[in-house]
């Protein structure tokens, strides 16, 4: 009953796509109007927290290696931390804006985990390529929420952050367990399928 790894990636891609679209909308209309309805203010922090909680079972059921388990655990921890901190900021329980740094922290830790838990080279297979690419997209994309802590009203930074999450969703949707990338597939990877 355990889903193939590619299905898990596609399911998380769905969550990240919805999260990314919410961030795009918030960047377009501005934070003030976005938070005019209370439920909307809680929407994406709640979604981030939920994604973090849902990553936890991955570390239990997908135990291909210790590195995989550690990577999944670290994602779960930082995603939950970022989601919970954002929820507390929206609710008013936390007031120090430095808690916003949990978002770039989550992106950097997730990006590093994505890259480091893929031991194979970039062109080994599409999955290997996408793990490396996703890792670097997250690490570079962390610049947007990091600088936004200093310039919270910048629309460019908000759009950049939203675009990072949408690109993450696209990369996760592109994942296949065994498939070539740019015509390359290691003979050790197995039999490719469409």
Q: Does 87 bind other proteins (CB under 8 A)?
A: no
Closer residue to other proteins, CB minimum distance, 13 or 84: 13
Contacting other proteins (CB under 8 A), which of 31, 34, 141, 142? 34
* Count of beta carbons in the 10 Å neighbourhood of residue 49: 20
Q: Does 40 bind other proteins (CB under 8 A)?
A: yes
- Contact call for residues 48 and 86 (beta carbons, < 8 A): yes
Q: Does 120 bind other proteins (CB under 8 A)?
A: no
**Minimum distance of other proteins from residue 42's CB (angstroms):** 13
Contacting other proteins (CB under 8 A), which of 42, 73, 116, 173? 173
Q: Does 161 bind other proteins (CB under 8 A)?
A: no
Closer residue to other proteins, CB minimum distance, 28 or 60: 28
CA dihedral 147, 153, 85, 60 (to 10 degrees): -60
Q: Does 10 bind other proteins (CB under 8 A)?
A: yes
Place of tokens 């949408």: 166
How many residues sit close enough to other proteins to count as binding (CB under 8 A)?
A: 25
Q: Does 62 bind other proteins (CB under 8 A)?
A: no
Q: Does 31 bind other proteins (CB under 8 A)?
A: no
Tokens at 80, concatenated: 């939950």
- Contact call for residues 175 and 10 (beta carbons, < 8 A): yes
Q: Does 11 bind other proteins (CB under 8 A)?
A: yes
Q: Rounded CA gap, 23 and 194, in Å?
A: 32
Indicate the burial class of 107 (C-beta count within 10 angstroms; 0-12, 13-18, 19 or more): buried
Q: Does 54 bind other proteins (CB under 8 A)?
A: no
Q: Does 41 bind other proteins (CB under 8 A)?
A: no
Tokens at 141, concatenated: 């994309």
**DSSP H helical ranges for 30-65:** 31-34, 38-61
Q: Does 37 bind other proteins (CB under 8 A)?
A: yes
Q: How far is CA 144 from the centre of its chain?
A: 14
Interface residue list for other proteins (CB under 8 A)? 1, 3-4, 7, 10-11, 13-14, 17-18, 21-22, 24-25, 28-30, 33-34, 36-37, 40, 43, 173, 194
């Amino acid at each position: 009953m355990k889903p193939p790894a590619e299905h898990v990636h596609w399911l998380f891609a769905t969550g990240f796509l919805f999260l990314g679209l919410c961030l795009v909308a918030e960047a377009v209309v501005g934070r003030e109007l976005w938070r005019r309805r209370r439920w909307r203010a809680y929407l994406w922090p709640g979604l981030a927290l939920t994604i973090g909680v849902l990553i936890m079972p991955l570390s239990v059921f997908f135990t291909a290696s210790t590195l995989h388990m550690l990577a999944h655990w670290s994602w779960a921890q930082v995603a939950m931390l970022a989601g919970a901190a954002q929820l507390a900021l929206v609710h008013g329980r936390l007031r120090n804006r430095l808690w916003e740094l949990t978002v770039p922290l989550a992106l950097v830790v997730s990006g590093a985990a994505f890259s480091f838990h893929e031991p194979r080279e970039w062109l080994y297979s599409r999955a290997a390529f996408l793990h490396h690419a996703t890792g670097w997209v997250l690490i570079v994309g962390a610049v947007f929420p990091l600088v936004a802590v200093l310039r919270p009203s910048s629309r460019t930074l908000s759009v950049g952050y939203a675009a990072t999450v949408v690109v993450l969703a696209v990369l996760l949707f592109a994942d296949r367990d065994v498939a070539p990338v740019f015509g390359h597939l290691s003979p050790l990877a197995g039999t490719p399928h469409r």
